Amino acid sequence: MTIIHMDISIVIPTFNEKNNVRLITTRIMNILNREDCLYEIVFVDDSSDDTPIVLEQLCHEFSCVKYLHRKNERGLASAVVEGFCHSQGNQIIVMDADLQHPPELIPLILKRLFQADIVIPSRFVPGGSDGGLNLFRKLISGIARGIGRISIKRLRPISDSTSGYFALKRSVIHNAHLDPIGWKILIEILVKGKYRTVHEIPYSFVAREAGESKMSIKEQYNYLRHIARLVNNSPEDRKFYSFCVIGTLGVLINLFCLHIFLKLFDMGELSSSINSSCIAMIHNFLWNNYVTWREYKSQVLWRRIIQFPQFSLICGLGIAITTLFAQIFLFLGWNIYAGQLLGISVSTSWNFFANSRWTWPVAYNETNREDVKPVVTQELPSKMSWY
Ligand SMILES: Nc1nc2c(ncn2[C@@H]2O[C@H](COP(=O)(O)OP(=O)(O)O)[C@@H](O)[C@H]2O)c(=O)[nH]1
Ligand SMILES: [Mg+2]
């Protein structure tokens, strides 16, 4: 038996693309037949129209074409995962069937895939454009990308993390449990994959000529669910949100206790304020110890003893930072609420950083060890003059 060593798999999800699949196949073949490589084009199809018939014809005509038809199943991202399982190439390129992703970029993508683990043709690096989208879609897509970047650390340096056009070495997804919701398979790979380097290439997203977009409001909702699930499963991202939620709860508890001490116990203002702050601080410490940094509780006794005073000291400095901002704004004749708000943002970041660094130091070390920060590079448009 001869074992065929496949170099490249092009995975293409399709839903009702009968007028596009032949075109995309011939354009890819025209390009890859010029390269010295063994390749396959794998369509994963959920269509309810005649697309499977055209795909069947293509399979008979060209040995490099394969297709898989899923009955009663939908989902772009899950189709791509299925494509990963049924393909063999060491290098995988994922692209849409509707020619919005120019196949002419493939040679450059493959060249860059020698140096980088993941290559992303991007609409948002200098030289790229998302001209193929209308203004409303551009706005929605921008907001979606922004939410992803704010929520998930690994997406932050990537300019086009929602791109449907990307390439990766198979080793990136080896042993990764890919379980995406909806459409955006690339964010799943960027969060769960094993990689060191990402390279972005500018390209122009072209307008669709045949067929219509299947993007819907439901898919935007699925995207938010997907982001929420990824955050929940990623300790490095979950920690900060958990810290903020506990901090907000702490403020409410602080105000509630202040009210009780003043009105029910008739205590003085100063002692009511100090007592309620202490209660809130204990509340925050316990929750952070058992939830935010739950994976990193120290086993060393002396460290456990000094943890609470350390936490209080750091948070005390945080209160001083907030007060300082409010006072500076007041001094400059600006709005004190704006100053307080800015102070809260700065002190929250300080509290989180300092407690990660000193109160739960194992967490800090672990985070740094696990999180070998991927290097993200971008192609200079001048290098692409041939394209
Ligand atoms: N297998 C599969 N492919 C899909 C599904 N929805 C969309 N696609 C394909 O995914 C690609 C991108 O979809 P498209 O509607 O062009 O999205 P847009 O470019 O964001 O407007 C196209 O090749 C579609 O045929 C689906 O549910 N299953
Ligand atoms: Mg499209």
* CA torsion, ordered 330, 336, 341, 347, to nearest 10 deg: 30
Please check whether residues 174 and 86 belong to one and the same domain.
Answer: yes
Mutation probe of ligand 1 site: the residue of 23, 27, 98 with most atoms within 8 A of C-beta: 98
Residue 320 in domain: yes
Give the Cβ contact number of residue 172 at 10 Å: 19
Residue-range definition of the domain harbouring residue 135: 8-233
Residue 384 in domain: no
Q: How far is the CA of 210 from the centre of ligand 2 (A)?
A: 10
Task: Inform me whether the pLDDT recorded for 365 exceeds 70.
Answer: no
Residue 256 in domain: yes
Residue 4: both structure tokens together: 């065929």
Please check whether residues 203 and 299 belong to one and the same domain.
Answer: no
Task: Inform me whether the pLDDT recorded for 1 exceeds 60.
Answer: no
d(CA 310, CA 50): 67
More reliable by pLDDT, 122 or 211: 122
The interaxial angle of helices 336-354 and 301-331, nearest 10 deg, is 160
Q: What is the pLDDT of residues 280-310, one digit of tens each?
A: 889 999 999 888 888 777 777 888 888 989 9
d(CA 178, CA 192): 7
Residue 225: both structure tokens together: 């669910």
Q: Give the single-character DSSP code of 358.
A: I
End position of a domain, from candidates 233, 266, 299: 233
In 3D space, the residue among 161, 166, 93 whose CA is nearest the CA of residue 124 turns out to be: 161
Q: What share of the chain is helix, strand, coil (3-state, %, to 5)?
A: 55, 10, 30
Q: What is the pLDDT of residues 224-267, one digit of tens each?
A: 999 999 998 887 788 888 988 999 998 899 889 988 998 899 88
pLDDT-derived band of residue 211, with 50, 70 and 90 as boundaries?
Answer: confident
d(CA 62, CA 73): 26
Residue 87 in domain: yes
Q: In the sheet that 91-94 helps form, which strands lie side by side, from edge to edge?
A: 65-69, 39-45, 8-14, 91-94, 166-169, 118-122, 197-202, 375-378
Domain count, the chain: 2
More reliable by pLDDT, 304 or 110: 110
Position 330 scores a pLDDT of 87
8, 93 Cβ separation under 8 angstroms: yes
Residue 385 in domain: no
Task: Inform me whether the pLDDT recorded for 362 exceeds 70.
Answer: no
Position 213 scores a pLDDT of 77
More reliable by pLDDT, 1 or 324: 324
Residue 375 in domain: no
d(CA 160, CA 224): 17
Please check whether residues 165 and 208 belong to one and the same domain.
Answer: yes
Q: What is the pLDDT of residues 16-34, one digit of tens each?
A: 999 999 999 999 999 999 8
Q: How far is the CA of 133 from the centre of ligand 2 (A)?
A: 9
Residue 107: both structure tokens together: 């040679």
Residues with CB under 6 A from ligand 1: 13-15, 17, 44-46, 74-76, 79, 96-98, 100, 164, 213-215
207, 132 Cβ separation under 8 angstroms: yes
Please check whether residues 300 and 340 belong to one and the same domain.
Answer: yes
Q: How far is the CA of 77 from the centre of ligand 1 (A)?
A: 9
Beta-sheet pairing, 197-202 with 118-122: parallel
The ligand whose atoms approach the alpha carbon of 14 most closely is: 1
* CA torsion, ordered 229, 234, 235, 236, to nearest 10 deg: -120
End position of a domain, from candidates 218, 233, 248: 233
Residue type, position 76, single letter: L
Atom of ligand 1 nearest to the CA of 16: 25
Please check whether residues 165 and 37 belong to one and the same domain.
Answer: yes
Which stretches does DSSP call E strand in the chain? 8-14, 39-45, 65-69, 91-94, 118-122, 166-169, 197-202, 375-378
Give the Cβ contact number of residue 72 at 10 Å: 6
- Over the chain, what is the mean pLDDT? 88
Give the Cβ contact number of residue 289 at 10 Å: 19
Q: How far is CA 134 from CA 30, 140, 207, in A?
A: 30, 10, 9
Please check whether residues 119 and 160 belong to one and the same domain.
Answer: yes
Please check whether residues 228 and 284 belong to one and the same domain.
Answer: no
Q: How far is the CA of 103 from the centre of ligand 1 (A)?
A: 16
End position of a domain, from candidates 233, 268, 283: 233
Mutation probe of ligand 1 site: the residue of 16, 78, 96, 206 with most atoms within 8 A of C-beta: 96
Residue 387 in domain: no
d(CA 280, CA 275): 9
